[in-house]
Structure 1
Amino acid sequence: MTEKDLISLDSLMKHPDVVKVTAKENQQLIDRRESIPPSCEVFENSCIALEDRGQYEFEIDPEAARKLPDIIHNKVQAVVGVECPSEEEAAEHGKARAIGVVFSGGPAPGGHNVIAGIYDAAVKANPDTKVLGFLMGPDGVIENEYTVLTKEIVDNYRNLGGFGMIKTGRTKIDSVKKVSSARQTCKDLGLDALVIIGGDDSNTNAAFLAQELKDDGVQVIGVPKTIDGDIQVRDKSGNVLCAMSFGFHTAARAFATEISNLCTDASSDVKYWHICKVMGRVASHLALEVALQTHANLTLIGEELSEYVDYERIQKAEATGQTDYTAYGMTLRHLSRVICNGIVRRAAVGKNYGVMVIPEGVLEFINEIQTFIIKLNTIIADFNEMHDRPFHLEFQRLEEKLEYLRRLARRSREDDSFTLWNTRDDDLFSDLPIFFQEGLLMERDSHGNFPFSQVETDKVIMGLVQDYLAWLRDQGKYKVGLTRDYYEKTMKKGGADPQLYGPVLFRNYQDGEFLLMKEEIMSLKTLTQEMIRCNALKEGESIPSAVQAIYKKSIPSFKTQVHFYGYDGRGSDPTWFDCTYTYNLGLTVFSLIAAGATGQMAAIRNLERDFETWEPIGIPIGPLMHLEERKGKLTLVIEKSTVQLNSASFQVVKNLREKWLAAHPGPDEFRRPGPISMGDPRSEDRPITLALNALGSTPPEE
């Protein structure tokens, strides 16, 4: 390179257009950061107070009451404005404070706006208030690692995704030593309040910290965060207090945009089934929302599978005077049949492609899988207790383990009192793919629990689907439908008479829009036999090339592309809904702190309705906690919320399932959700599931 070239390159790199297009920040980013979401009307007051809402009550767990005596009787509190505050009220609201903020758990879009809302409200009340951001999650609280948040720092992250401002971590402050360290940090920094922004486990931590730090004068406020959407709060009468945790809408929209692109791709090259696994291990809210956003051809909802009842099996058992308890809940085998039915029906109208959405935790809703896990846990534990060598040392190869199970099945046939592992168990287990059998028989953790997270959900289900499709293809039941026009053109081009061969080849030649090859034609050999039987071919003659071409075109090839949607959605810039929701959550947090609350979760009531009806509230965390088995022992936790099968959103998806499958001639029903934007009045203003559920709970207008 010459000196002249070097000078030229230097000039190029300094050119204003080069600097502009290669800059870290673009104009859209700048505009997004400068946008200030609207605030609920109550926050326009110069002073606020909290008003108990006694009509909302909870069933209190005795263990929660025992461990959280100082916060268990907290009430739901509404944030209200004080028109003419007294000097004492104004002074308390506007005093200088030190407020600590920490992210806990995985990122969720909108978290930065929670901090922005807290910061804006705090400095508005008193410019001397300090907001401290603990670094790297709860570890920052334990180790006293923090940064003082300034306007410059906060402004740099407004309306942006991720938790990059102060980072996050998954440590839990759940031991005497950790609580002691957290207490010392609060004391050293002179904290008046600690805000924990996290999921169900993190808000559980917030409740225990509120109890522990109450006598120290440190208020603890939780904020509901999880893209899974499984933090939803209702009182014991079913009144919705928190319809959705923040981050859900953005993640669902991000997933939906990518899956919508796959819908476009699938209907373009018409050769792949795209299997889209979306986050949601315990609940299927994301899968439900993605279905509404994209109209994917098939969507599995785990909660529906767990409620399935096989009435045919029940009737067969009743006829013999027995009760088949395994008929309650979907089996893997039946689920694979349901999926295959949709695939076969689409192929019959020429659509040997499609898009399927699977929630990450769908296997946890399959009755037989749960039964297998419970039974195998017992079998392994019993063996370990009765023998000198542990089960996994005694039977190291899969075949050895399977043979042991077969021996147990034989024992059940010989001994009616032995029911732990019967012939049906063994038959169902044998249907599972080998890798999944190995997974279910893998060594348990230190608590004896099955490590579910290590199972490849999509691989398990699609393995069974591919096996059954292969069987259907061999039986002549899985065929690709051909248009009559294509058939006639191909035949004429090959010099064959379409009218002569049509009734020979197709089961619906007289009236079918998409022609389906006869079921008995499963190979070139059976094609030859059928043509000879119908006098369309003589013994020893070759099948006309045009007929062979049509036959080959009718043979389906099931090809899949598997995709996982999780971390990409967590890091997306938030939607208008999540930006507004989280900013108002931040304002609510400060209101709770200023009014002296502790052990409360900041929330917005009426999220599912128009913004003008949103009501900032504090929900007591203690009464939300119940005993649940975690890692082999009973622990107080906040119960995760699952998809309600009687909800309007699920009922709409269920009712439109056949339409979206589009197993008919003509175009698919795919929906394009559009890109995530900030401030576009044409953008949806809330998750579709929430909008539908609001309609479902609102009486029709007169």
Structure 2
Amino acid sequence: MSALEAERRHYRPCVPAVLRVRVRAEPAQERTTCVSHEDLIASAFPTLYGSPVVSLVPAETDTSVAPRPLRVGCVLSGGTPAAGGHNCICGLFDHLEAFHPGSTLLGFRGGLRGVLRNSFTKLEAATVERHRNSGGFFMIGSGGDLIETEEELALAHYELAEATCRRCGLSGLVLVGGPVSNSDTALLAEHFKQRGVPTRVIGVPATIDGDLYCNSIEASIGFDTATRVYASLVGNLATDAASARKHWYFIRMMGRTPSHLTLGCANLTQPNIALVGEELEARRMTLCDIVGELADAVEARASEGKHFGVVLIPEGLIEYVPQVNALLSEISAALKYRQRMGDTSTDRYKVYTAILPLLTPPSAALLASLPPYIRRQLMLERQASDDKAQLSQIETERLLAELVRVELRKRRAAATATAEWAAPDARFAPVCFYLGYQARSSMPSTFDANLGYALGHAAGALVGAGATAYMASAHCLTSPPSEWRLCGVPLFSLMSADRRAGVAVAVIRPAQVSLASPTFRRWSAVRERLVMADLYCNPGPMQLSGPLAAGPSPGRVQAEHAERGRDVAEAQAICREVSAACWPGCSGDVLRTALASLRALREHLDVLEERDQAAMTNPVGSSHRRITQVTHEQMLRRDN
């Protein structure tokens, strides 16, 4: 153990004031609905749909009566560690120790697989203490196992999980993970509710991708740390580029399909170019368009003697390019067709020659035109979690760098042939990087250490209050941690429909970057200037103490939620004042004025809610995908 690890173990996260006393779950009065596709979601959650949001508030019970001990299981779900996950378990352990003495905490090994196989370890105080404020998920391990979408297999998984929880006598089961893992958490909770299983199921948001995000979930564990670590690496590379002045750095950022990490790092480091997939889709940009704009930037900087630059590329960029997106869909359909036909060959060239005739002519031409290494990567086996291509294995940065090089050569050759204009000597020397695994298991930032610990406490409180099918959530995160507010958000309220293996299922879709958000507007306001100017910012190593360690990184949470806590408190105070003024003995004028104003307010709120629902409603399928996946048989009918 390093000196820093030993020192960091002694850090005690700040606990929100509400969690320092015994709490209860106070339900809101409003019925909760889902994001979209209400009929499908309501049918998937017949016993849970409509459950209200619950707030954790101080309990008004007789403290002389000791609460009964609990037996709680915890799971670090999903295949990607998120810094702060260990602190979530620590917070859960400390909550049980403080408010449910004599409780037992079981850690299921290897993610959901541990629940299905009844593989667990009892977490003792010494084990928990060794992992405080540490990175990774190595306390109990994690895994990418999921509940199958096929009905018979899903039922088998549910029954295995039910058997484990009954055998262990679990009062609660807490699953820590991202959108896919928490989708399984919701479905498992519904199964338990229908079967009368006494185990309460609670989810905790944890993903470095930042795609478990909405008004109900201000931040997920791990995103702040990942943004800080990646920004530090990008800042170093930008400083190096400005020093050597001879390389273009093409940096692909982890983050799956959404571009949250890329956008967050762009705002912290100010590279010359940062591609945001959601914007490219909105502009309907093709691969040629993207390459053309990159080549324009290289030539423009070369004209001023700047033969260097920094380009940030989101991991999921390739899915936002229309013709590549269509190609990926057709490859998926072709691979499934081969499986149905019993073709199990793994030889890369045989796979390529087998699926090429199954593609439409435009997609076949595009696949044939790509470099061999990209072809191989596009044809890799699809991810079990969302049936998509393995984005982390597709070297988009290398592809773009090579295409820009080819484009620059074409332009120079054309200029030489026509002699109508002089193309600048770009001297293009790209160097490619993939920032992926460097930040997943980093020591958590102070913000993530506090957030993970608070959400672990909140998950324990929800189990103790008898709540099930909720996600622990913290609000007012730009305030000091002692002022954070904790609540439980119904898991189904985060869900909509998506297509898995050709079947519409209820899932929590990964949140996309909003082009109307303050975070994106901040970047778009400066990016044109950054193409030519060298205004790189190097945030330096992540700080764990001192003034620079406090609070979230100066990114999404601060930009989009800075005033939220204050505004919520003011709105609640005004409501209390109106309620006090409208007592039975108040004057008629006061009552009529209040009613007229409140009725108008209610109408305005209804309009806003309908607008938000319409904005979030997408066709069943990928949240950004406009290309419908087709089977091989459908392709043949269409082509003929």
**How does the TM-score come out when normalised to structure 2?**
0.78
**SS in structure 2 opposite 1:241?**
coil
Hey, what does 2:437 align to over in structure 1?
567
Instruction: Output aligned runs, 1:204-283, within 5 Å.
Output: 204-214=183-193, 215-233=196-214, 240-283=215-258
2:182 is equivalent to residue 182 of structure 1: no
Aligned equivalents of 2:162, 2:39: Cα separation in 1: 26
Q: Given residue 270 of structure 1, which amino acid in structure 2 is its aligned partner?
A: R
Instruction: Output aligned runs, 1:289-688, within 5 Å.
Output: 289-308=264-283, 329-374=284-329, 421=361, 432-433=370-371, 436=374, 451=389, 453=391, 455-476=394-415, 520=421, 555-608=425-478, 611=481, 613-661=483-531, 663-664=532-533, 668-683=534-549, 685-687=551-553, 688=555
Q: Given residue 310 of structure 2, which amino acid in structure 1 is its aligned partner?
A: V
Hey, what does 1:96 align to over in structure 2?
69
Aligned equivalents of 2:382, 2:344: Cα separation in 1: 11
CA contact (8 A) 1:377 1:448 kept: no
Q: Given residue 157 of structure 1, which amino acid in structure 2 is its aligned partner?
A: H
Q: Given residue 75 of structure 1, which amino acid in structure 2 is its aligned partner?
A: P
CA contact (8 A) 1:200 1:639 kept: yes
Q: Given residue 102 of structure 1, which amino acid in structure 2 is its aligned partner?
A: V
Q: State the 1:344 CA deviation.
A: 1.4
| Per-residue CA distance 1:77-126 (angstroms, 9 max, x = gap) | 110012x4236xx747x321111111111110000110111111110113
Hey, what does 1:160 align to over in structure 2?
134
CA contact (8 A) 1:293 1:673 kept: yes
Aligned equivalents of 1:195, 1:446: Cα separation in 2: 22
Aligned equivalents of 1:158, 1:445: Cα separation in 2: 32
Q: Given residue 113 of structure 1, which amino acid in structure 2 is its aligned partner?
A: N
| Per-residue CA distance 1:481-518 (angstroms, 9 max, x = gap) | xxxxxxxxxxxxxxxxxxxxxxxxxxxxxxxxxxxxx9
Hey, what does 1:39 align to over in structure 2?
15
Q: Given residue 219 of structure 2, which amino acid in structure 1 is its aligned partner?
A: M
Aligned equivalents of 1:452, 1:170: Cα separation in 2: 14
Structure 1 stretch displaced more, 632-641 or 454-463: 454-463
Aligned equivalents of 2:42, 2:365: Cα separation in 1: 47
2:82 is equivalent to residue 113 of structure 1: no
Hey, what does 2:600 align to over in structure 1?
none
The percentage of counterpart residues that share the same residue type is 30
| Per-residue CA distance 1:552-573 (angstroms, 9 max, x = gap) | xx74321122111121110100
CA contact (8 A) 2:175 2:182 kept: yes
**SS in structure 2 opposite 1:616?**
strand
Aligned equivalents of 2:27, 2:556: Cα separation in 1: 29
Aligned equivalents of 2:31, 2:90: Cα separation in 1: 30
CA contact (8 A) 2:286 2:323 kept: yes
| Per-residue CA distance 1:203-260 (angstroms, 9 max, x = gap) | 1111122122231211111111110000013xxxxxx111221101101111111111
Closer, same or farther: CA 459–57 of 1 in aligned 2, 3 Å: same
Q: Given residue 205 of structure 1, which amino acid in structure 2 is its aligned partner?
A: D
Aligned equivalents of 1:594, 1:654: Cα separation in 2: 46
Aligned equivalents of 1:227, 1:445: Cα separation in 2: 18
Closer, same or farther: CA 351–594 of 1 in aligned 2, 3 Å: same
Q: Given residue 313 of structure 2, which amino acid in structure 1 is its aligned partner?
A: I
**SS in structure 2 opposite 1:568?**
coil
Structure 1 stretch displaced more, 442-451 or 123-132: 442-451
Hey, what does 2:44 align to over in structure 1?
67
Number of aligned residue pairs: give it.
Answer: 552
Hey, what does 1:693 align to over in structure 2?
560
Q: Given residue 680 of structure 1, which amino acid in structure 2 is its aligned partner?
A: G
Q: Given residue 406 of structure 2, which amino acid in structure 1 is its aligned partner?
A: D
Q: Given residue 461 of structure 1, which amino acid in structure 2 is its aligned partner?
A: L
CA contact (8 A) 1:609 1:694 kept: no
Q: Structure 2: 5+ residue runs without aligned partners? A: 149-153, 571-640
Aligned equivalents of 1:267, 1:681: Cα separation in 2: 29
Closer, same or farther: CA 466–610 of 1 in aligned 2, 3 Å: farther
Q: Given residue 212 of structure 2, which amino acid in structure 1 is its aligned partner?
A: I
2:262 is equivalent to residue 287 of structure 1: yes
CA contact (8 A) 1:117 1:586 kept: yes
Q: Given residue 180 of structure 2, which amino acid in structure 1 is its aligned partner?
A: D
Aligned equivalents of 2:31, 2:395: Cα separation in 1: 42
The CA RMSD measured in Å over matched residues stands at: 3.5
**SS in structure 2 opposite 1:160?**
coil
Aligned equivalents of 2:32, 2:167: Cα separation in 1: 37
Q: State the 1:681 CA deviation.
A: 1.6
2:17 is equivalent to residue 147 of structure 1: no
| Per-residue CA distance 1:152-207 (angstroms, 9 max, x = gap) | 11111111110111111112244333322222222222211111111112111111
Aligned equivalents of 1:461, 1:596: Cα separation in 2: 52
**SS in structure 2 opposite 1:567?**
coil
The counterpart of 1:86, out of the listed 57, 62, 67, is 62
Q: State the 1:451 CA deviation.
A: 3.9
CA contact (8 A) 2:387 2:500 kept: no
**SS in structure 2 opposite 1:268?**
helix
Hey, what does 1:29 align to over in structure 2?
5
Give the number of the structure whose alpha-carbon radius of gyration is greater: 1
| Per-residue CA distance 1:252-277 (angstroms, 9 max, x = gap) | 11111111111111111111111111
Aligned equivalents of 1:330, 1:255: Cα separation in 2: 27
CA contact (8 A) 1:475 1:519 kept: no
CA contact (8 A) 1:140 1:146 kept: yes
CA contact (8 A) 1:380 1:391 kept: no
Q: Given residue 65 of structure 1, which amino acid in structure 2 is its aligned partner?
A: A
Aligned equivalents of 1:443, 1:571: Cα separation in 2: 26
CA contact (8 A) 1:648 1:696 kept: no
CA contact (8 A) 1:609 1:691 kept: no
Closer, same or farther: CA 460–633 of 1 in aligned 2, 3 Å: farther
CA contact (8 A) 2:108 2:120 kept: yes
Q: Structure 1: 5+ residue runs without aligned partners? A: 1-23, 234-239, 309-328, 409-419, 478-517, 523-553
Hey, what does 2:176 align to over in structure 1?
197
**SS in structure 1 opposite 2:289?**
helix
Aligned equivalents of 2:383, 2:518: Cα separation in 1: 40
